[in-house]
Amino acid sequence: MMKLHEYPEIGEKLYSTVLPNGLEIRVIPKKDFSTCYAAFMTNYGGAHRRFTVDGRTVDTPAGVAHYLEHKMFDLPNGDNALSILSANGADPNAFTSSGVTCYYFQCTEGFEENLRMLLHFVSTPYFTDETVAKEQGIIAQEIRMGEDNPGMVVYYNLLGLLYDHHPIRDRVAGTVESISHITAQTLYDCHRVFYAPSNMVLCVEGCVDPETVARIAEEELPKERAEIPTADFGEKESMLPRERLCRVQGEVSAPQFFIGAKLDCAGHGEAALRQHLVAALCLRMLCGSSSPFYTRLYADGLLSVDFDYETDFSAGTGTVIIGGEGREPEKILEEFSREVERIAAEGFDTGSFERAKRASLGARLRGLEDFDNVCVSMAMGLLDGYCALDAFRLLESVTAEECRRFAAENLCRERLAMSIIEPKSAPTGTEETE
């Protein structure tokens, strides 16, 4: 029997259960909609390279989680799950990040059949040495394309500045050399450990019956509850960056940059969600499109419309990243540091803060219309021990002082690193700032 949770402030109803095999399920029924969306997520991503299970420590090559995602759609009879789902009216896909792997689909008909197929192929792997070896060339090409992508270059250069040893600093897809060590047995071993229902969550939204979702999951998935592996990301990182500045050349018409900082994660559950909300609201106030910092630097021609910010909480880490395209990136870093120092001393304007909080709430309310956004956010939240719908209640209680303190503690000058990629005509080098 699924448990009902009501959220009257946003007009939502959520049904939840945990199956005997450990799978957590969340369903948001939308009887007035024809669309259905399902996300099946495992707590396994590119950073989970070392882990402990059954009392032993296992090391795997970089890129296994992403490689596994590629091969999971293969079926023993030569068919492909993507093709079958598409033929049945679904729009399926998958992604792998540093912290998770997610398989999902959207459809307007045939939901139950599509859900059975999703759960079946994700829980029943089929690999051969021949097909795994063939995939290496495809993934190697994908890796090479990423190495030529300016945005990817500047992003991973930033992570290399921030992190000393945490595997989040390495590309999710691995390297051409690392994936050459991946075999069918490697994939089977990692699937057995990380794709157990006790290490996964299923989130569904749309014109569906919650009890039917739970029944299908019980019928299609393994019955036993497996041990959850313990990831080993190495010793706790210093909050200071490993280096401060990296500058490279690339195929860009104007400088692109990222400024970033590591966060000391709040841990698990509601405290983690509150930290996420404070971080996002603080960044909206500091450098959103209506912030004094952005409007001033845009008017001066230092920043373009291609400027944004994000927070990434995954694989036991938290990272703040701001950046985009801009003239004189190091001057932008200096101006940002000065703005943080001002806010640390003076705090955020009360009126502006309340307007920003209302705008954030409005954006989140509009986001409820995107079933994919809701399901993926819900799934990621469950893996961190919280319900994403609680964000509306918690956000109301976030204060300007919390955001000021977040900026002062986490975004101060000594915590920041900067990665730049410039047009090839510009001087190059890697240097460390004072």
Taking residues 261-280, report their average pLDDT: 94
Q: What is the pTM of this model?
A: 0.94
Q: Is residue 236 assigned to a domain?
A: no
158 and 193 both lie in a single domain? yes
Taking residues 248-256, report their average pLDDT: 93
Last residue of a domain, one of 209, 231, 253: 231
**Backbone φ and ψ of 125, nearest 5°:** -75, 155
18 and 107 both lie in a single domain? yes
224 and 251 both lie in a single domain? no
* Residue 405 pLDDT greater than 80, yes or no: yes
List all residues 6 or more positions away from 216 whose beta carbon is below 8 Å from its beta carbon.
112, 115, 116, 119
State the first-to-last Cα distance of the chain, in angstroms, to the nearest integer.
Answer: 60
For strands 3-7 and 12-18, give the pairing: antiparallel
Is 310 known to be catalytic? no
Q: Is residue 237 assigned to a domain?
A: no
277 and 186 both lie in a single domain? no
User: What are 51's strand-pairing partners?
Assistant: 58, 231
Give the pLDDT band of residue 358 (cuts 50, 70, 90).
very high
Taking residues 106-134, report their average pLDDT: 95
Angle between helices 150-162 and 129-147 (to 10 degrees): 90
Q: Is residue 91 assigned to a domain?
A: yes
Taking residues 60-69, report their average pLDDT: 97
Q: Give residue 77's pLDDT.
A: 86
Q: Give residue 432's pLDDT.
A: 45
Give the pLDDT band of residue 434 (cuts 50, 70, 90).
very low
Q: Give residue 425's pLDDT.
A: 75
Taking residues 248-262, report their average pLDDT: 95
Angle between helices 270-287 and 292-299 (to 10 degrees): 30
269 and 407 both lie in a single domain? yes
189 and 116 both lie in a single domain? yes
Kindly report the average pLDDT of the chain as a whole number.
Answer: 94
* Residue 274 pLDDT greater than 90, yes or no: yes
Q: Give residue 356's pLDDT.
A: 94
- Among 69, 237, 339, 422, the active-site one is 69
Angle between helices 270-287 and 400-410 (to 10 degrees): 80
**In residues, how long is the chain?**
434
Taking residues 39-50, report their average pLDDT: 97
Say which CATH number the domain at 273 has.
3.30.830.10
Q: Is residue 160 assigned to a domain?
A: yes
Last residue of a domain, one of 174, 199, 231: 231
Tokens for 203, please give them: 């989130």
350 and 372 both lie in a single domain? yes
34 and 163 both lie in a single domain? yes
Report how many domains make up the chain: 2
135 and 174 both lie in a single domain? yes
* Residue 433 pLDDT greater than 60, yes or no: no
Give the pLDDT band of residue 427 (cuts 50, 70, 90).
low
The residue to which tokens 């039917």 are assigned:
212
253 and 341 both lie in a single domain? yes
Identify the domain containing residue 295 by its residue range.
Answer: 245-423
User: Residue 143, class by beta-carbon neighbours within 10 Å (0-12 exposed, 13-18 middle, 19+ buried)?
Assistant: buried
The gap from C-alpha 269 to its chain's centroid, in whole angstroms, comes to 17
Q: Is residue 434 assigned to a domain?
A: no
Please give the residue that has the higher pLDDT: either 77 or 295: 295
Q: Is residue 428 assigned to a domain?
A: no
Give the pLDDT band of residue 376 (cuts 50, 70, 90).
very high
Give the pLDDT band of residue 430 (cuts 50, 70, 90).
very low
* Residue 429 pLDDT greater than 60, yes or no: no
Tokens for 342, please give them: 């001002």
Long-range contacts of 345-354 (CB under 8 A, 24+ apart): 347/400, 347/401, 347/404, 348/285, 348/400, 348/403, 348/404, 350/400, 352/285, 353/285, 353/400, 353/403
Separation in Å, CA 44 to CA 65, 193, 256, 313, 365: 7, 10, 31, 14, 29
Q: What digits encode the pLDDT tens for the residues 9-38?
A: 999 999 999 999 999 999 999 998 999 999
Query: HEC states along the chain?
Result: CCEEEEECCCCEEEEEEECCCCCEEEEEECCCCCCEEEEEEECCCCCCCEEEECCEEEECCCCHHHHHHHHCCECCCCCEHHHHHHHCCEEEEEEECCCCEEEEEEECCCHHHHHHHHHHHHHCCCCCHHHHHHHHHHHHHHHHHHHCCHHHHHHHHHHHHHCCCCHHHCCCCCCHHHHCCCCHHHHHHHHHHHCCHHHEEEEEEECCCHHHHHHHHHHHCCCCCCCCCEECCCCCCCCCCCCCEEEEEECCCCCEEEEEEEECCCCCCHHHHHHHHHHHHHHHHHHCCCCHHHHHHHHCCCEEEEEEEEEEEECCEEEEEEEEEECCHHHHHHHHHHHHHHHHHHCCCHHHHHHHHHHHHHHHHHHCCCHHHHHHHHHHHHHCCCCHHHHHHHHHHCCHHHHHHHHHHHCCHHHCEEEEEEECCCCCECCCCC
Q: Give residue 1's pLDDT.
A: 83
Q: Is residue 212 assigned to a domain?
A: yes
105 and 139 both lie in a single domain? yes
287 and 416 both lie in a single domain? yes
Separation in Å, CA 432 to CA 166, 243, 429: 21, 6, 10
Taking residues 298-317, report their average pLDDT: 93
Q: Is residue 429 assigned to a domain?
A: no
Last residue of a domain, one of 231, 266, 281: 231
Q: Give residue 267's pLDDT.
A: 83
Give the pLDDT band of residue 431 (cuts 50, 70, 90).
very low
CB-CB contact of 358 with 410 (8 Å) = no
